[in-house]
Amino acid sequence: MKKLTLAALLGLGLVSGQALAAGWTGGDDQQTNPLACDGTPAAAAAMPYDGGAPTNPPDRKGKKITVVDVPKLIGIGYFNATSKGIADAAAELGNVDAKTDGPTKANIDEQITFLDNYITSGVDGILFAANDPVAIAPVLKKALEKGINVVGYDANSTPDARQWFVNQAQFNGIAKALVDSMAAEIGEEGGFAIVTSTFTTPNQARWIAEMSAYAEKCHPKMKWLETVEAQEDNNLSFNQATTLINKYGDELKGIFGMTSVATPASAEAVTQANKCGNIAVVGLATPNAMKPYVEKGCVKSVVLWNPVDLGYAAMQVLRSVADGTLQPGATSVKAGKLGELQVINGSEILLGAPYVFNKDNIGQFDF
Amino acid sequence: MSASASIAPPGRSAFQRFLSGYGQEIVVFLSIIFLFVVVGAINPRFLSDTNINSIFAGNAYIAVAAIGMSMIIMAGHIDVSVGALIGVIATIAGTLAVNGYPVWIAWLVPIIFSMAVNAGVGALVAYTRIPSIVVTLGMLSILKGGLISATAGAWITNMPAEFMIAQMRPFGIPSAVYFMVALTILASFFIKYTDFGRSIYAVGGNMEAARAAGINPERVVVGVFALHGFFAGVAGILFATQLQVIQSTVPPNLELTVITASVIGGVSILGGTGTVIGSTLAAILFACIGSALIFLNVSAYWLRAVLGLMILATVLADMARRRRAK
Amino acid sequence: MMSARLLRHETILAVLTVIALFVLAMLSDKFFTGENLLNQGRLMSEVGLVALAMTFVIVTGGIDLSVGSILGLTAILLGVFWKYLGLPLPAAIVLAMACGTFAGWVNGWIITRFNVPPLIATLATLALYRGLAEGISEARSVRGYPEWFFFFGQGEVLGVPFQLWILGIATVIAAVILGLTPFGRATYAIGANEVAARFSGIRVNATKLWIYSAAGFLSALAAVIFVSRVTTTRSDMGTGLELDVITGVVLGGTSIFGGRGTIIGTVLGLILIQALKNGLALSGVKGDGTIVVIGLVLIGAILVGALFDRNRGG
């Protein structure tokens, strides 16, 4: 009886596996906007400001403000780095009292509770990285209603729930950088797999959808094999990447790591399988975690913005908003040592093009 | 299903006694064999030595932690903080290693720490009669919050190569596998053939009856928790040394995986029965299922549903077997 | 004498809660305001609803680890029925809640029909229901609900959040059933000694089926409120809910071994946890510090209760 059940289960699994084989697993269902293959920037359509506005904010110009930063979760390296950038900017500005606090797991319910508590405690400004763009909107709107300045970074909310969003890099830009790097390493006809966090993480789902669209347009013969989930867990990412290597053998030429956890773990899996040079690892990661693999030549390039700069820019933008120097309709904003940053898509501020770390420059970064 | 099996003749053969004593272990073991045969037939790469190595080595720490958890459950208790504890142990070990302490200190200190913490938990449970789920729920919060406060999730890297014990491969087999096998065998002999080991079952079966039989149940509970701390400590070291990076966070849902391995392996949640061989086999079964589902091209979206169904199927098969055995 | 013994833990807990509220009000002047307290009530409603059913479950000596997954599954079904099957939203809500209740019933069925210990049965369905939510939705969220639907999670009646009314009514009903009806007495009897309960003519299996179905129903109700509050549906909703709920229930004095526990205790436990989370945050303690405090309070409160018990009972 038991074997029958198991066999039935396996059958079910196989069927469902085949039924859903079209498209890259893990992408979201929103519209994609792949860039031109040669990198010609698309003509940017000027969009009117579509962010929200706080209700009757007090005059905060030049005054000391208290700011809370609520990232997706605390206790991981990436948000540790953004938090450091925020603290750096606050120290440099001198008139900001900033602190980072948030849930210990990427949980939208807990994030809302944290934001709610800080709204009650009466902060002047909120920085956030949303676990879900829609779910976070009601509580952010509540903050705006209380006259609090709200600026997002890393992961956006619906535009009208915040004033500005500091965009580390456009989704289609990241997608192009990743897919082009992979194509350069494994050739136009190579097979590759993806290791992501969870399919419900908005940024990762967006990137995978954009990568799928861009690859179809510009590298149509590259072969997507499979996407696996690995949470934000090092050991699970390693196990999943190893299983992919074992499963596909020579068919697998490359692995995309979609998170700063998955990429080094995939590189480690390739290293421990003695496949350095045979299987390329391309992905988003922080330079410190990748140094051993890049220096050994196992990984050629790593794509990432600088998360410290991202936090720094977010804090600078929030200060400008509070001071009233950044108004709807502006085309750029001054962000301290980062200089002038561009406004795009109506109410987003672009940090810059994604940075590609390689053997020559990775030693210069420490985060 | 068959009426003849339900009425066991008085003089059962040794084989039948073996079957009834290790029923669940056999079910789990056959499931593993079944998976290997079926998945191997569909995709022979599943049976490649690298894949078998990674199934065993990549999950050995779960099996080791499940040994201790099984003892806890046999004694009629539970520990929901084991995942957080393993995260803390890994972080302590890594921190000691990068700060230049000799590797044996980096290995041993966290294990001793883990035993001390759990002995404390055991003492609370045994002497104040607070249910273990309450104490360990509290410990889960304390360990998790404390770890984040202390490290903020800063990754530990650049650990010395000789620290990476789980990556060593004597005779071509990952050392984690040796630990898993050796500790399973040791623990089963310990439980079966020492007074202390047998008293675990007695305490889990009926605390007052155990006391009447001259056992000091409080002392046994403290001892079992300390032992569990030892296994969690070893699991934490294996976990920490598997990769070049320690995340300094609590591994998500690890406690559920460990508890599930123990109970699927045949340890009764009511205490008093079960073996650690079963829990190790169950941990291996899970690792096999996780790998097999990828090899079988099960849609990644449906993976967790299939896993849940398989756990349920294993549980129901066990229940059907027990009913027949009666 | 029995009821005095039962209520001892609740008394200690009530004193502790009052002390906590007092101290937290001292620490921050933003804490003890009507607006903040009502808002906290809104935030604890989902956990509270599930905790009511969990009290019954634990009093029978069982446990239900799958409540968070049922919440996620119901939320996804609600979205899928409405958006992809094109049902009218009210019908989708009712149908999704029926499915959630059925999921709870399945737990009870596995537990009673096959004699599977509740911990194991619901460990399996924890994975199964979450997996179904992920598979059915392909991990995609459903958005764009009509404005009227947000009333359940964001609206107010007579100045009090809508879901707090629901929680209040459900609490009264649960307290009456557990404390004053034959069903409640059967629940305690099963937890105290299942075999004896069976012999004294209590319909053990039917009672358990009702209780696990109720856990499914209240998890489903919490799902609807949650979706309405956050205006979107995700397959990972309610992850880890079971631990929050169980923490509240055991802090409320319900014995994990069964046979003991009250709704009033559960409510006090929930209030104490929510007050600590909120009050500590308002007085400047960060999230990681707060969970350490909650862990200490949980152990401490039960410890104090146990020590009192020992001194009186010998």
Question: Residues B74-92: pLDDT tens digits?
Answer: 888 889 999 999 999 999 9
Q: How far is A317 from chain C (nearest CA, A)?
A: 24
Report percent pLDDT > 90 for chain B: 34
* pLDDT confidence of residue B13: 66
Q: Hey, are the CB atoms on C128 and B305 less than 8 Å from each other? A: yes
Over chain C, what is the mean pLDDT?
90
Contact C243/B at CB under 8 A? yes
Q: Hey, are the CB atoms on A247 and B1 less than 8 Å from each other? A: no
Round to whole Å and give the CA distance between B191 and C159. Answer: 62
What backbone phi and psi angles, to 5 degrees, belong to A193? -130, 165
Closest-CA residue in chain B for A195?
Answer: B300
Confidence of residue A54 (pLDDT cuts 50, 70, 90): very high
| Structure-token pair, residue A52 | 């929200």
Contact A26/C at CB under 8 A? yes
Evaluate if residue C313 carries a pLDDT over 60. no
Q: How far is A77 from chain B (nearest CA, A)?
A: 5
Report percent pLDDT > 70 for chain A: 92
| pLDDT greater at residue B24 or residue A9 | B24
Q: Hey, are the CB atoms on B313 and A13 less than 8 Å from each other? A: no
Mutate to test the interface with C, among B132, B133, B263, B268 (most CBs of C within 10 A): B133
Round to whole Å and give the CA distance between B116 and B110. Answer: 10
Cβ-in-10-Å burial (0-12, 13-18, 19+) of C150 comes to middle
Among C81, C74, C79, smallest CA distance to C97 is for: C74
Among A203, A211, A205, A202, smallest CA distance to A173 is for: A211
Q: What is the DSSP annotation of A204-258?
A: HHHHHHHHHHHHHHH-TT-EEEEEEE-TT-HHHHHHHHHHHHHHHGGGEEEEEE-
Beta-carbon contacts of residue B274 (< 8 Å; ≥ 6 apart): B24, B70, B73, B74, B262, B265, B266, B267, B268
* pLDDT confidence of residue C144: 87
CATH for A65-168+306-352 (3.40.50.2300, 2.30.30.40, 3.40.47.10, 3.40.50.620): 3.40.50.2300
Question: pLDDT tens across A94-106, in order?
Answer: 999 999 999 888 8
Q: How far is B80 from chain C (nearest CA, A)?
A: 10
Contact B243/A at CB under 8 A? yes
Question: pLDDT tens across B46-63, in order?
Answer: 998 889 888 898 889 999
* pLDDT confidence of residue A96: 92
* pLDDT confidence of residue A13: 43
Instruction: Give me the mean pLDDT over the C4-19 stretch.
Output: 79
Contact B189/A at CB under 8 A? no
Which residues in chain A have their CB less than 8 angstroms from residue B1's CB?
Answer: 1
Which residues in chain C have their CB less than 8 angstroms from residue A134's CB?
Answer: 141, 143, 230-232
Evaluate if residue C314 carries a pLDDT over 60. no
Among A128, C272, C124, A152, smallest CA distance to B316 is for: C124
Round to whole Å and give the CA distance between C235 and A135. Answer: 13
Evaluate if residue A6 carries a pLDDT over 50. no
Q: Hey, are the CB atoms on A264 and B245 less than 8 Å from each other? A: yes
Report percent pLDDT > 70 for chain B: 90
Confidence of residue C300 (pLDDT cuts 50, 70, 90): confident
CATH for A170-304 (3.60.15.10, 2.40.40.20, 3.40.50.2300, 3.30.530.80): 3.40.50.2300
Mutate to test the interface with A, among B244, B250, B289 (most CBs of A within 10 A): B244
* pLDDT confidence of residue A22: 47
Q: Hey, are the CB atoms on A247 and B239 less than 8 Å from each other? A: no
Evaluate if residue B32 carries a pLDDT over 80. yes
Question: pLDDT tens across A167-204, in order?
Answer: 998 888 889 989 999 999 999 999 999 999 888 888 89
Round to whole Å and give the CA distance between B75 and B199. Answer: 9
* pLDDT confidence of residue C221: 97
Question: Lowest-confidence range among A316-325, B180-189, B261-270, C117-126?
Answer: B261-270
Over chain A, what is the mean pLDDT?
86
Note the CATH architecture for domain C2-308: Orthogonal Bundle (1.10)
Q: How far is C30 from chain A (nearest CA, A)?
A: 6
* pLDDT confidence of residue A30: 81
- The domain ranges of chain A are 65-168+306-352, 170-304
Q: Give residues 165 to 224 of A whose Cβ lies within 8 Å of B.
A: 199
Beta-carbon contacts of residue A218 (< 8 Å; ≥ 6 apart): A34, A37, A176, A179, A180
- The domain ranges of chain B are 43-284
Which residues in chain A have their CB less than 8 angstroms from residue B252's CB?
Answer: 105, 231-233
Over chain B, what is the mean pLDDT?
85
Round to whole Å and give the CA distance between A258 and B260. Answer: 29
Q: Which of C239, C281, C282 sits opposite A107 (nearest CB)?
A: C239
Q: Which of B54, B245, B246 sits opposite A243 (nearest CB)?
A: B54
Evaluate if residue A9 carries a pLDDT over 50. no
SS3 state of residue C96: helix
Q: Hey, are the CB atoms on C234 and A132 less than 8 Å from each other? A: yes
* pLDDT confidence of residue A4: 46
Closest-CA residue in chain B for A75?
Answer: B153
Task: Give the ipTM.
Answer: 0.87
Evaluate if residue B270 carries a pLDDT over 70. no
Contact C113/B at CB under 8 A? no
* pLDDT confidence of residue C143: 86
Please say whether the beta carbons of A275 and A296 come within 8 A: no
Q: How far is C303 from chain A (nearest CA, A)?
A: 27
Q: How far is C295 from chain B (nearest CA, A)?
A: 4
Q: Any bridge partners for residue A348, and if so which?
A: A165, A344
Question: pLDDT tens across B59-72, in order?
Answer: 899 999 999 999 99
* pLDDT confidence of residue A18: 38
| pLDDT greater at residue B23 or residue B139 | B139
Confidence of residue A41 (pLDDT cuts 50, 70, 90): low
Question: Lowest-confidence range among A338-352, B256-270, C218-232?
Answer: B256-270
Q: pTM of the predicted model, to two decimals?
A: 0.88
* pLDDT confidence of residue B16: 64
Report percent pLDDT > 90 for chain A: 50
Instruction: Give me the mean pLDDT over the C172-179 stretch.
Output: 96
Which residues in chain A have their CB less than 8 angstroms from residue B317's CB?
Answer: 1-2, 5
Instruction: Give me the mean pLDDT over the C113-120 stretch.
Output: 86
| Structure-token pair, residue C54 | 């969990």
* pLDDT confidence of residue B269: 63
- The domain ranges of chain C are 2-308
